[in-house]
């Protein structure tokens, strides 16, 4: 097992503390930042996953057959210290899902 998260990893971590409408608590997430950044900085950009689909445009549905289920919330990304939050890598998302989430995330930045 790798010592640091890579882009496309499904991870489990505690998103608390949270404030307001942020996602919190123990849950799965999808790593969006590249491994070289994550390893060098000790940080990772992670999009939380929820099972409560609401139909918002920034929800990326996780296809059947993936390690996790629900939707990835591309507009709720957080930069987290993956060592301090004791991130557990639980699997790898398909390239199609990663590209879908990144495309939704990019629309927030342009």
pLDDT (tens digit per residue) in 41-58: 999 999 999 999 999 999
* pLDDT value at residue 2: 78
Q: With bands split at pLDDT 50, 70 and 90, how would you rate the model's confidence at 22?
A: confident
Q: Is the pLDDT of residue 71 over 80?
A: yes
- Architecture of the CATH domain 9-109: Roll (2.30)
pLDDT tier at 1, thresholds 50, 70, 90: low
How far apart are alpha carbons 48 and 23 in whole angstroms? 7
């Amino acid at each position: 097992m790798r010592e640091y998260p890579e882009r496309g990893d499904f991870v489990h971590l505690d998103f608390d503390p949270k404030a307001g409408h942020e996602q919190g608590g123990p849950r799965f997430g999808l790593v969006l930042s590249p491994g070289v950044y994550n390893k060098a900085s000790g940080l990772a950009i992670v999009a939380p996953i929820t099972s409560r689909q609401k139909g918002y445009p920034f929800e990326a549905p996780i296809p059947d057959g993936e390690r996790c289920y629900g939707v990835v919330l591309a507009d709720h990304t957080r930069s987290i210290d993956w060592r301090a939050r004791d991130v557990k890598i639980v699997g790898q998302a398909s390239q199609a899902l990663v590209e879908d989430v990144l495309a939704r995330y990019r629309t927030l930045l342009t």
